[in-house]
Structure 1
Amino acid sequence: MRMLLFLGITALVSAGCRSSSSSVAAEASAASADERLTRLVEEHFEETLVLSPVRATMIGDNRYNDRFTNNLSDEHRARRRALYERSLEAARKLDPAALSPEQRLTHTLFVEDVEEELDEERFPQHLLPINQFYSTPNFFVQLGSGKGVHPFKTVKDYEDFLARVDGFLAWNESAIARLREGIEKGIVLPRVLVERTLPQLAAHVVDKPEDSLFFQPVKNFPEGMAEADRARLTETWRATIRDRLVPAYRRLHDFLRDEYLPRARPTVGLSALPGGSEWYAYLVRKTTTTDLTPDALHALGLREVARIHGEMDAVIQQLSFKGDRKAFEAHLEKLPELRFKSREDMLQRYRETKARVDALTPRLFDLIPKQDYEVRAVEAFREKSAAGGSYMSASPDGSRPGVFYLNTRGYADAPFIGMEALTLHEGAPGHHFQISIQQTLERLPRFRRFGGYTAYAEGWGLYAETLGAELGMYQDPYQRYGALSSELWRAIRLVLDTGLHAKGWTREQAIAWALENSPSDEPRVTAEVERFIAIPSQALAYKVGQLKISELRARAEKTLGPAFDIKAFHRQVLEDGALPLKVLESKVDRWLVARQAEQKGAQ
């Protein structure tokens, strides 16, 4: 309406005002191009939800709750490829110069994302569909446990999940077929990853349906559900677990143990596979959103390890401890006051830390999410291989809270000096904070609201840890030491990931190097190394992203001087959602130019 009124007034005032007419025409053209782009990216996103219905559930869209996609099938892969090729062709037909600045950014991100997704199809990831860290069978258990993203509030919710079982069973069969195909082509998992995956699958091969995590929704029917529905669903649930789910988990487990494990490879690096070096180089570019090479990242990791070691030594001196880091670590092991008493004690302390941090975040932020999050223990079946902490996002409307999954398995084995840093990373102002804000940016197209870039997300999580002292945390030197220990691991990851996948390091070599350079014990080091083996390049994101955000903050502080406002800087980083690091840098630089101009104008 505003544009039509403006056009009418312009025509009445003067047909000879060429500059105004030209401006109006440009505005109309931009609006038209903007609308075409909006239609394209929204239609593309809508089709991705049809192809990935669980993603729809995760973002609070329940239209496809009765579906679970077999993303390993030839049909699915062909449909997905056709969608991306069609969308890319349409996007390339749009002239970026005809778009408004905001839409020009959306166009750039969309084209680059789709190109990257198509480029990834050069590599046979579908032949390695499972490991101990990223596992569809594990995820499906979470989905059906009543503690995941699938709702269990109505009879329809229960029936929807039963329908989803069909899709999972199809995926299970395809996984076995793809793993067999991988054997034929020499694309197989490292033996150690198969060994770690087997007990996770075996945990769901139960004798009684009532012992299965899948039975939890039946044990916890919502209030008000009719008795007849309860009775019917209970019997259906028992039959589904006994006759369908348990046999599926047993079949995949036995296949991996009897047929696949003997053919798994003794090597662990991606570069040991055919085309693996090129594959890893691609993953490095995708994960870091930079052109940094594995060699450059390895060298960066070594420099950061040395720097953080120096800061840890300074804390040891502050505590007046006589001895080196190894002696200090041994000293920490002897302090009972730094130990959790039980799993529940660990959970409670983290929940208390969450409450403290939540009250402090307004010190540094004026953009705060409405969604809340909970601290829950990692499920027993996956805690042996799970990270110390992980995050599952809240629904955009906050009806389903985010979840900070805390691994309580080693509660008695390590001091709780990393508690504050881990809470800052997974909760606020880390992952929960950033992702929740992004999902509520309704002015952005959905692929930007619900997408992401690993270097940005994990970089923000690690940057959030560095804010501890400014927030009023890390007052205890032990917690400060714990924060440095956490940061040290992110630097070590640069060394280990590139060592394993680009430099031919063995698992044992990586474990030995990490034990020498970190305060962690062998069980944690081993789990971390095996995580890097399972998900090449992901570990690179943390330090690369954090260093870039910290660099941009330092640049802003130097450029703006006394006028620097930390809340305004954080808003600049967060208010457009996740961005590739080079795009984030350009955005902050433009903001600084604008702020400088404002300062000069005010003088």
Structure 2
Amino acid sequence: MNKGLVLSTVIAVALGLTACNQKAETANTAKTDVAAEPNVHVVEQQYLKVVDDYFKDYLKLEPLYATFFGVNDYNADFGGDLTDTYLQASHQLNSDYLAKVQLIDRKQLSPQLQLSYDMFVYDRKIALQGEAFPGRLMPISQFYSTVITMVQLGSGESAQPFKTVTDYENWHSRVKGFVTWMALAQQRMNEGMFAKVVLPKVLVERIIPQLDAQLVNAPEDSIFFAPIKQFPDTFSDADRTKITAEYRSMIADELLPAFKSLRDYFNNTYLPAARNSSGFWNLPNGKAWYQYLANYHTTTTMPVEQIHQIGLQEVARIRQEMDKVRQQVGFQGDLKAFFASLSSEPQYFFNTPDELINGYAAVKQRINAVLPKYFHVMPKADYVIKPVEAFRQQSAAGASYEAPAVDGSRPGIFYINTYNLKAQPKWGMTTLSLHEASPGHHFQISIKQELTGVPEFQRFGSYTAFEEGWALYSEYLGIEMGVFSDPYQYFGKLSDEMLRAMRLVVDTGMHAKGWTREQAIQYMKDNSPMAESDIIAEVERYMAIPGQALSYKVGQLKILELRHKAEVALGDKFDLKAFHDQMLTSGSLPLAVMEDKINHWIATQQKA
């Protein structure tokens, strides 16, 4: 969903983290005595009003996000994130609320609200910085786009509700906005061609089949017709007949022509103008743009070169650990031969998609059985396991997670890509489940949504470095939880960690050092047992959303660093469950804000 949308032993790595652009004062300040300072309560109420007003205004500007957040007031609206009006409104929203919140005395807020304040200021500043770069000129990619989001919503199996006649009418109205957006996207890409800000050719070649999949022969064959096939039982025959006719017309007369126009545009106009390079380095101001994206996704100010070097160090370390496993299981060949064996021999793979999905259901049960030993706070919501939809299988990641409905009406979804069963080895299942489901993304995101007593923006805000860092930390935690039942499952953990380490090298290599797509693919082949189809999808993902892949390992290393710091400082007082509570009960945090929180907790525990 973020626009621009996922562990090793403790390593003391100098990550060079800085706080939000305005360095937050440490949250070590003891909570102010409200009786002694009667104005404190007033100041806190002022702060809460500012951020709540912001969130309401934000949802008006971003109606699609509102639907995913469980706010149904804008379900008929599409929004217009490519219009000049939107861009100006977005700027005004961030600049106005930054000015408003900076009038509030942070020192008079409680420690918890100081964290919230720091998050809010960080968000506004990083958004305003991003206005310097023309992301609007590349509004669609094969990995994430409004097109993919709208197809998922239109399937009736995502956040868009289809429970009442009004719900069906709302969706029809939203589709009209989507049709307008598809035309405007072409205009923005025309501007991009003029400015030499265009996608790589190979990504355009991936987008065209995704659009082709929507060009069905009859409305009834469209995924957008799916809600008609699942009318609620309460609908009258007259309502069913009327809505069915309207949806047939909507698909035939509005959606299909718009999809065809967009598909033809990509094939006939945009593809010939697409670039041959893989990275941002040769776009106008591309290196500065990429450094911004690296900062944005990692919530740090680390130079790109430093991130590249950390990646090289981690790849070397993990290769050594992998070779230990090779020796442990008695494999006679070298590590490259071990990779080839694990990625090709039939005993390491399921034969059907159903077997794969059922296998993950068994892993879920095994992990769930030990979670109470490591967590006080656990999500109320459950999650289900589903295959990735057919239309996006070829370009989708091997797995992903979608948050549950905020009102509890829909569980979280752990998506498994069943397109290529050879890309889903049995030895990788435990670590992937830990990352995407419990206690990884499902815990962190669900608990965040279920928080009470925090501002709404904090419940729904997202920082990739925190969320993906936590998920990767969850893989590391699996060792302590005892769920890696044999050396092969542990190798799966190392393999997934190797992926996150290689990302630091490959992402920075393509976008800052001029690496080609082929160089990146070869590097990943040389250092992991991943299936080639997975490697290609990964590399093309980094091409589409630069910097996002850096956040996993950077976030994980910071969490491990802070845990190690707490263990050393507290000794016998250290409580792992309590540490996990601290990590999960303030929502997603910029890494520097997270560090302030843990430092404050350590100090409090020492005094206790």
Once the two structures are TM-superposed, the CA of residue 162 in structure 1 deviates from its matched residue by 0.7
Alignment of 1:566 with 2:576, yes or no, is yes
Amino acid at match of 1:347: I
- 1:96/1:533 CA distance change after superposition, 3 Å: same
Change (3 A) 1:249 1:591: same
Other-structure match for 1:588: 598
User: Match of 1:167?
Assistant: 177
Confirm or deny that 1:544 pairs with 2:554.
yes
Q: Is the 8 A contact 1:377 1:406 kept in 2?
A: yes
Corresponding residue SS for 2:55: helix
Equivalenced residues, count: 577
In 2, the alpha carbon distance for the partners of 1:284 and 1:407 equals: 27
Aligned to 2:75: 65
1:105 aligns to what? 115
- Give the conservation status (yes or no) of the 8 Å contact 1:57–1:65: yes
Q: Which residue of 2 aligns with 1:44?
A: 54
In 2, the alpha carbon distance for the partners of 1:80 and 1:590 equals: 34
CA distance in 2, matches of 1:412, 1:529: 18
Question: What is the CA deviation profile of residues 242-279 of structure 1, one whole-angstrom value per residue up to 9, with x for unaligned ones?
Answer: 11111111111100110111111111211210011111
Q: Deviation of residue 23 (structure 1)?
A: 6.8
User: Match for residue 518 of structure 1?
Assistant: 528
- For residue 306 of structure 2, the aligned residue among 289, 296, 314 is 296
Structure with greater proportional helix content = 1
- Distance, in Å, in 2 between the alignment partners of 1:67 and 1:24 is 43
Aligned in 2, Cα 1:24/1:562: closer, same or farther, shift over 3 Å?
closer
After the TM superposition, list the runs of 4 or more consecutive aligned residues in structure 1 that deviate by more than 4 angstroms. Answer: 22-26
For residue 194 of structure 1, report the CA deviation from its aligned partner.
Answer: 0.7
Relative contact order (alpha carbons < 8 A, sep ≥ 6): 1 or 2 greater?
2
Q: Deviations over 1:196-215 (max 9, x none)?
A: 11100110011111111111
- Change in Cα spacing, 1:594 to 1:97, as seen in structure 2 (3 Å) is closer
Measure the CA separation in 1 of the matches of 2:418 and 2:82.
33
Q: Structure 1 CA distance, aligned partners of 2:177 and 2:91?
A: 20
Could you say which residue in structure 2 is the equivalent of 1:308? 318
CA distance, structure 1, for counterparts of residue 524 and residue 153 of structure 2 = 35
Name the CA distance, whole Å, in 2 between partners of 1:580 and 1:590. 16
- Distance of 1:107 and 1:556 partners within structure 2: 24
80-89 vs 138-147, which deviates more?
Answer: 80-89
Per-residue deviation at 1:360? 2.0
> Are 2:398 and 2:424, in contact at CA under 8 Å, matched by a contact in 1?
no
Change (3 A) 1:334 1:254: closer
CA contact (8 A) 1:421 1:465 kept: yes
Structure-1 residue corresponding to 2:203: 193
1:334–1:124 Cα change, 3 Å:
closer
Q: CA deviation at 1:416?
A: 1.8
Cα-to-partner distance string for 1:3-60 (whole Å, 9 max, x where unaligned): xxxxxxxxxxxxxxxxxxx976862211111111111110010011011112111121
Instruction: Give the structure with higher Rg (CA).
Output: 1
Q: Cα deviation per residue 1:65-100 (whole Å; 9 max; x = unaligned)?
A: 111112101111112211222111211222223333
Q: Which of 537, 541, 544 is residue 534 of structure 1 equivalent to? A: 544
In the other structure, the counterpart of 1:216 is 226
Matched with 2:23 is none
Q: Return the match for 2:462 from 452, 458, 461.
A: 452
Residue 489 of structure 1 is aligned with which of 463, 480, 499?
Answer: 499
Q: What is the 5 A alignment of 1:17-96?
A: 27-96=37-106
**What SS does the corresponding residue of 2:415 show, helix, strand or coil?**
strand
Percent identical across equivalent pairs? 48
1:261-410 aligned at under 5 Å gives the runs 261-333=271-343, 335-410=345-420
How far apart, in 2, do the equivalents of 1:366 and 1:131 lie? 40
Deviations 1:463-509 (A, max 9, x none): 11111122231112111111110110000000000000111111111
Task: Return the offset for 1:461.
Answer: 0.7
Aligned to 1:183: 193
Deviates more, 1:153-162 or 1:456-465: 153-162
Q: Is the 8 A contact 2:336 2:526 kept in 1?
A: no
Distance in 1 between residues matched to 2:367 and 2:177, nearest whole Å: 41
Tell me what 1:433 maps to.
Answer: 443
Aligned to 2:263: 253
Question: In structure 2, do the counterparts of structure 1 residues 25 and 568 end up closer, same or farther at CA, with 3 Å as the change threshold?
Answer: closer
1:544 aligned partner, one-letter code: V
TM-score (norm 2): 0.93
Alignment partner, residue 11 of structure 2: none
Gaps of 5+ in 1: 1-21, 599-603
Structure 2 counterpart SS, 1:267 = coil
Q: Is the 8 A contact 1:68 1:167 kept in 2?
A: yes
CA distance in 1, matches of 2:405, 2:550: 28
1:121-132 pair list within 5 angstroms: 121-132=131-142
Q: Distance in 1 between matches of 2:566 and 2:403?
A: 30
Q: CA RMSD in A?
A: 1.5
Give yes or no for contact 1:469–1:475 (8 Å, CA) kept in 2.
no
Question: Partner amino acid for 2:489?
Answer: Q
Q: Which runs of 5+ in 2 are unaligned?
A: 1-31
Could you say what secondary structure the match of 1:376 adopts? strand
